[in-house]
Amino acid sequence: MFVLYPRKALGEEVTSRYSIEGRLRDALRLEQLEIHFQPQVELTHNRVTGAEALVRWPDGEGGFVSNGEFIPVAEDAGIIVQLDSYVLRALCDQALIWRDQMPPGFRLGFNFSAMGFLDAHCAERIIETIRESGLPPHRFELEVTEQAVMTDFSSAIEKLHLLREFGIAIALDDFGTGYSSLAYLQQLPLDRLKVDRTFIREVEQNPKSANIARAIIKLARTIGLDCLVEGVETAGQLEFCRLNGSQHVQGFYLHRPLPAADLMDAIGVAALDRRRKPA
Protein backbone atom coordinates (compact mmCIF):
# COMPACT_ATOMS: atom_id res chain seq x y z
CA MET A 1 0.00 0.00 0.00
CA PHE A 2 1.40 3.39 -1.01
CA VAL A 3 0.74 6.50 1.01
CA LEU A 4 0.79 9.79 -0.86
CA TYR A 5 1.99 12.76 1.20
CA PRO A 6 1.08 16.30 0.22
CA ARG A 7 4.00 17.91 -1.59
CA LYS A 8 4.06 20.79 0.89
CA ALA A 9 4.25 18.45 3.90
CA LEU A 10 7.03 16.42 2.30
CA GLY A 11 8.95 19.58 1.50
CA GLU A 12 8.60 20.81 5.07
CA GLU A 13 9.92 17.49 6.39
CA VAL A 14 12.98 17.66 4.13
CA THR A 15 13.61 21.26 5.16
CA SER A 16 13.31 20.30 8.82
CA ARG A 17 15.82 17.47 8.44
CA TYR A 18 18.30 19.75 6.70
CA SER A 19 17.82 22.28 9.47
CA ILE A 20 18.45 19.65 12.17
CA GLU A 21 21.53 18.40 10.32
CA GLY A 22 22.99 21.90 10.01
CA ARG A 23 22.33 22.75 13.65
CA LEU A 24 23.73 19.40 14.81
CA ARG A 25 26.94 19.96 12.86
CA ASP A 26 27.24 23.35 14.55
CA ALA A 27 26.54 21.82 17.98
CA LEU A 28 29.29 19.25 17.45
CA ARG A 29 31.74 21.87 16.25
CA LEU A 30 30.96 24.20 19.16
CA GLU A 31 30.86 21.30 21.67
CA GLN A 32 27.34 22.17 22.78
CA LEU A 33 26.15 18.60 23.32
CA GLU A 34 26.00 17.29 26.88
CA ILE A 35 26.55 13.85 28.34
CA HIS A 36 24.10 12.60 30.95
CA PHE A 37 24.50 9.35 32.87
CA GLN A 38 21.93 6.72 33.79
CA PRO A 39 23.06 4.74 36.86
CA GLN A 40 23.16 0.95 36.74
CA VAL A 41 22.27 -0.81 39.98
CA GLU A 42 23.58 -4.14 41.24
CA LEU A 43 20.65 -5.86 42.92
CA THR A 44 22.27 -8.09 45.52
CA HIS A 45 23.73 -5.19 47.48
CA ASN A 46 21.60 -2.37 46.03
CA ARG A 47 24.62 -0.40 44.87
CA VAL A 48 25.36 1.70 41.81
CA THR A 49 28.19 -0.05 39.99
CA GLY A 50 28.22 1.88 36.73
CA ALA A 51 26.42 4.28 34.45
CA GLU A 52 25.59 4.55 30.77
CA ALA A 53 26.65 7.73 28.98
CA LEU A 54 23.79 9.25 26.96
CA VAL A 55 24.09 12.23 24.64
CA ARG A 56 21.77 15.19 25.18
CA TRP A 57 21.33 18.22 22.91
CA PRO A 58 20.12 21.37 24.73
CA ASP A 59 17.41 23.15 22.76
CA GLY A 60 18.23 26.60 24.14
CA GLU A 61 14.91 26.83 25.99
CA GLY A 62 15.70 24.76 29.06
CA GLY A 63 14.94 21.40 27.48
CA PHE A 64 16.53 19.01 25.04
CA VAL A 65 16.04 18.06 21.41
CA SER A 66 14.59 14.54 21.32
CA ASN A 67 17.18 11.86 20.57
CA GLY A 68 14.55 10.23 18.39
CA GLU A 69 14.55 13.39 16.30
CA PHE A 70 18.25 14.00 15.74
CA ILE A 71 19.89 10.55 15.95
CA PRO A 72 18.19 9.29 12.73
CA VAL A 73 19.26 12.50 10.99
CA ALA A 74 22.84 11.97 12.19
CA GLU A 75 22.74 8.42 10.80
CA ASP A 76 21.33 9.48 7.44
CA ALA A 77 23.78 12.36 7.12
CA GLY A 78 26.79 10.21 8.01
CA ILE A 79 27.75 12.27 11.05
CA ILE A 80 26.84 9.57 13.56
CA VAL A 81 30.51 8.47 13.55
CA GLN A 82 31.52 11.98 14.54
CA LEU A 83 28.88 11.85 17.27
CA ASP A 84 30.29 8.52 18.55
CA SER A 85 33.75 10.08 18.86
CA TYR A 86 32.38 13.21 20.53
CA VAL A 87 30.60 11.17 23.22
CA LEU A 88 33.67 9.04 23.97
CA ARG A 89 35.98 12.08 24.24
CA ALA A 90 33.49 13.89 26.47
CA LEU A 91 33.13 10.75 28.58
CA CYS A 92 36.90 10.51 29.05
CA ASP A 93 37.08 14.19 30.01
CA GLN A 94 34.38 13.71 32.63
CA ALA A 95 35.89 10.48 33.93
CA LEU A 96 39.16 12.32 34.53
CA ILE A 97 37.30 14.74 36.79
CA TRP A 98 35.83 11.77 38.70
CA ARG A 99 39.05 9.80 38.77
CA ASP A 100 39.44 9.85 42.55
CA GLN A 101 35.71 9.65 43.29
CA MET A 102 34.67 6.53 41.39
CA PRO A 103 34.27 3.46 43.62
CA PRO A 104 36.34 0.32 42.87
CA GLY A 105 34.91 -1.58 39.92
CA PHE A 106 32.74 1.33 38.75
CA ARG A 107 32.33 1.29 34.95
CA LEU A 108 31.18 3.88 32.45
CA GLY A 109 29.29 2.51 29.46
CA PHE A 110 29.32 4.16 26.06
CA ASN A 111 27.43 3.31 22.88
CA PHE A 112 28.90 2.96 19.43
CA SER A 113 26.68 3.09 16.37
CA ALA A 114 26.46 0.28 13.84
CA MET A 115 27.88 2.61 11.20
CA GLY A 116 30.77 3.63 13.44
CA PHE A 117 31.52 0.03 14.37
CA LEU A 118 31.83 -0.84 10.67
CA ASP A 119 34.85 1.43 10.37
CA ALA A 120 37.90 -0.80 9.95
CA HIS A 121 39.89 1.20 12.50
CA CYS A 122 37.19 1.93 15.08
CA ALA A 123 38.72 -0.36 17.72
CA GLU A 124 42.10 1.32 17.37
CA ARG A 125 40.47 4.75 17.63
CA ILE A 126 38.58 3.79 20.78
CA ILE A 127 41.77 2.44 22.34
CA GLU A 128 43.74 5.54 21.34
CA THR A 129 41.13 7.88 22.85
CA ILE A 130 41.06 6.05 26.16
CA ARG A 131 44.83 5.61 26.25
CA GLU A 132 45.37 9.33 25.67
CA SER A 133 43.09 10.10 28.61
CA GLY A 134 45.42 8.23 30.96
CA LEU A 135 42.46 6.40 32.51
CA PRO A 136 42.54 2.64 33.15
CA PRO A 137 40.56 0.84 30.42
CA HIS A 138 38.71 -1.32 32.95
CA ARG A 139 36.70 1.81 33.83
CA PHE A 140 34.93 1.60 30.44
CA GLU A 141 32.33 -0.64 28.86
CA LEU A 142 31.52 -0.61 25.15
CA GLU A 143 27.83 -1.20 24.42
CA VAL A 144 27.36 -2.57 20.92
CA THR A 145 24.12 -3.78 19.36
CA GLU A 146 23.43 -7.08 17.64
CA GLN A 147 22.95 -5.18 14.38
CA ALA A 148 26.43 -3.66 14.65
CA VAL A 149 27.99 -7.04 15.34
CA MET A 150 26.13 -9.04 12.70
CA THR A 151 26.72 -6.65 9.80
CA ASP A 152 30.28 -7.98 9.49
CA PHE A 153 30.57 -10.74 12.04
CA SER A 154 34.17 -11.89 11.49
CA SER A 155 35.46 -8.31 11.58
CA ALA A 156 33.36 -7.58 14.67
CA ILE A 157 34.89 -10.51 16.56
CA GLU A 158 38.40 -9.24 15.79
CA LYS A 159 37.54 -5.73 16.98
CA LEU A 160 35.84 -6.94 20.15
CA HIS A 161 38.78 -9.21 21.01
CA LEU A 162 41.17 -6.29 20.51
CA LEU A 163 39.10 -4.02 22.77
CA ARG A 164 38.66 -6.67 25.44
CA GLU A 165 42.36 -7.51 25.45
CA PHE A 166 43.02 -3.80 26.01
CA GLY A 167 40.83 -4.03 29.09
CA ILE A 168 37.47 -2.60 28.03
CA ALA A 169 34.39 -4.60 29.05
CA ILE A 170 31.98 -5.54 26.26
CA ALA A 171 28.19 -5.50 26.55
CA LEU A 172 25.76 -6.69 23.87
CA ASP A 173 23.10 -3.99 23.93
CA ASP A 174 19.37 -4.32 23.20
CA PHE A 175 19.68 -8.09 23.31
CA GLY A 176 16.73 -9.94 21.82
CA THR A 177 15.78 -7.30 19.24
CA GLY A 178 18.15 -8.45 16.51
CA TYR A 179 19.45 -11.80 15.32
CA SER A 180 19.75 -13.45 18.76
CA SER A 181 21.56 -16.47 17.30
CA LEU A 182 22.97 -18.65 20.05
CA ALA A 183 25.58 -20.01 17.64
CA TYR A 184 26.93 -16.49 17.15
CA LEU A 185 26.48 -15.49 20.77
CA GLN A 186 28.88 -18.12 22.07
CA GLN A 187 31.63 -16.86 19.75
CA LEU A 188 31.55 -13.26 20.94
CA PRO A 189 33.96 -12.05 23.65
CA LEU A 190 31.30 -10.60 25.93
CA ASP A 191 31.05 -9.62 29.57
CA ARG A 192 27.39 -8.64 29.72
CA LEU A 193 24.01 -9.01 28.03
CA LYS A 194 21.75 -5.97 28.23
CA VAL A 195 18.19 -7.22 27.91
CA ASP A 196 16.08 -4.85 25.86
CA ARG A 197 13.27 -2.97 27.61
CA THR A 198 10.63 -4.54 25.35
CA PHE A 199 10.98 -7.82 27.26
CA ILE A 200 10.41 -6.35 30.70
CA ARG A 201 7.60 -3.94 29.83
CA GLU A 202 4.73 -6.42 30.21
CA VAL A 203 6.07 -9.01 32.66
CA GLU A 204 3.47 -8.02 35.27
CA GLN A 205 0.50 -8.47 32.92
CA ASN A 206 1.57 -10.98 30.26
CA PRO A 207 2.74 -14.48 31.31
CA LYS A 208 4.29 -15.06 27.89
CA SER A 209 6.39 -11.90 28.19
CA ALA A 210 7.42 -12.95 31.69
CA ASN A 211 8.49 -16.40 30.45
CA ILE A 212 10.58 -14.88 27.64
CA ALA A 213 12.27 -12.40 29.97
CA ARG A 214 12.93 -15.19 32.49
CA ALA A 215 14.49 -17.35 29.76
CA ILE A 216 16.79 -14.57 28.54
CA ILE A 217 18.02 -13.83 32.07
CA LYS A 218 18.65 -17.55 32.61
CA LEU A 219 20.48 -17.77 29.27
CA ALA A 220 22.88 -15.00 30.27
CA ARG A 221 23.59 -16.65 33.62
CA THR A 222 23.99 -20.09 32.04
CA ILE A 223 26.70 -18.93 29.62
CA GLY A 224 28.52 -17.02 32.33
CA LEU A 225 27.57 -13.47 31.41
CA ASP A 226 26.43 -10.65 33.64
CA CYS A 227 22.80 -9.77 32.92
CA LEU A 228 21.46 -6.21 33.00
CA VAL A 229 17.79 -5.53 32.31
CA GLU A 230 17.02 -2.14 30.79
CA GLY A 231 13.85 -0.10 31.08
CA VAL A 232 12.81 -1.02 34.64
CA GLU A 233 10.00 1.43 35.41
CA THR A 234 7.90 -0.15 38.18
CA ALA A 235 8.39 -1.84 41.53
CA GLY A 236 6.91 -5.02 40.06
CA GLN A 237 9.41 -5.11 37.22
CA LEU A 238 12.25 -4.55 39.66
CA GLU A 239 11.07 -7.40 41.86
CA PHE A 240 10.74 -9.66 38.80
CA CYS A 241 14.37 -8.98 37.89
CA ARG A 242 15.49 -9.62 41.46
CA LEU A 243 13.59 -12.90 41.81
CA ASN A 244 14.77 -14.21 38.44
CA GLY A 245 18.47 -13.61 38.94
CA SER A 246 19.31 -10.52 36.92
CA GLN A 247 22.45 -9.10 38.51
CA HIS A 248 21.91 -5.52 37.35
CA VAL A 249 19.07 -3.23 36.32
CA GLN A 250 18.73 0.19 34.76
CA GLY A 251 15.64 2.32 34.38
CA PHE A 252 13.51 5.28 35.42
CA TYR A 253 12.11 3.53 38.48
CA LEU A 254 15.55 3.69 40.10
CA HIS A 255 17.31 6.57 38.34
CA ARG A 256 16.61 8.81 35.39
CA PRO A 257 19.62 9.96 33.36
CA LEU A 258 21.50 12.53 35.43
CA PRO A 259 23.72 15.48 34.54
CA ALA A 260 27.37 14.71 35.17
CA ALA A 261 27.40 16.95 38.25
CA ASP A 262 24.77 14.76 39.96
CA LEU A 263 26.08 11.24 39.29
CA MET A 264 28.59 10.95 42.12
CA ASP A 265 25.96 12.30 44.53
CA ALA A 266 23.58 9.51 43.41
CA ILE A 267 26.25 6.94 44.20
CA GLY A 268 26.72 8.46 47.64
CA VAL A 269 22.98 8.40 48.36
CA ALA A 270 22.79 4.74 47.35
CA ALA A 271 25.66 3.93 49.72
CA LEU A 272 23.93 5.83 52.54
CA ASP A 273 20.68 3.93 51.92
CA ARG A 274 22.55 0.62 52.30
CA ARG A 275 24.08 1.70 55.59
CA ARG A 276 20.64 2.58 56.93
CA LYS A 277 19.19 -0.86 56.22
CA PRO A 278 18.89 -3.13 59.26
CA ALA A 279 21.43 -5.92 59.42
Task: With beta carbons less than 8 A apart as the criterion, state whether 122 and 159 touch.
Answer: yes
- Which pLDDT score is estimated for 13? 60
What percent of the chain clears pLDDT 70, i.e. is strictly above it? 89
Predicted local distance difference test score (pLDDT) of residue 146: 87
CA torsion 184→187→189→195, rounded to 10°? 30
Which of the two residues, 185 and 88, has the higher pLDDT score? 88
Residue 275 pLDDT:
39
Per residue in 28-52, pLDDT (tens digit) is: 999 999 999 999 999 999 999 999 9
Query: Phi and psi dihedrals of 176, rounded to 5?
Result: 100, -10
Is it the case that residue 119 has pLDDT exceeding 70? yes
Residue 141 has pLDDT above 70, yes or no: yes
179 φ, ψ (degrees, to nearest 5)? -75, -40
Closest listed residue to residue 200, CA positions, set 221, 226, 228: 228
In whole angstroms, give the CA distance from residue 50 to residue 105: 8
For the residues 268-274, what does the mean pLDDT come to? 52
Strands 140-145 and 258-259, sheet pairing? unpaired
65, β-bridge pairs? 57
The pLDDT confidence band at residue 190, using thresholds 50, 70 and 90, is very high
pLDDT band of 185, cuts 50, 70, 90: confident
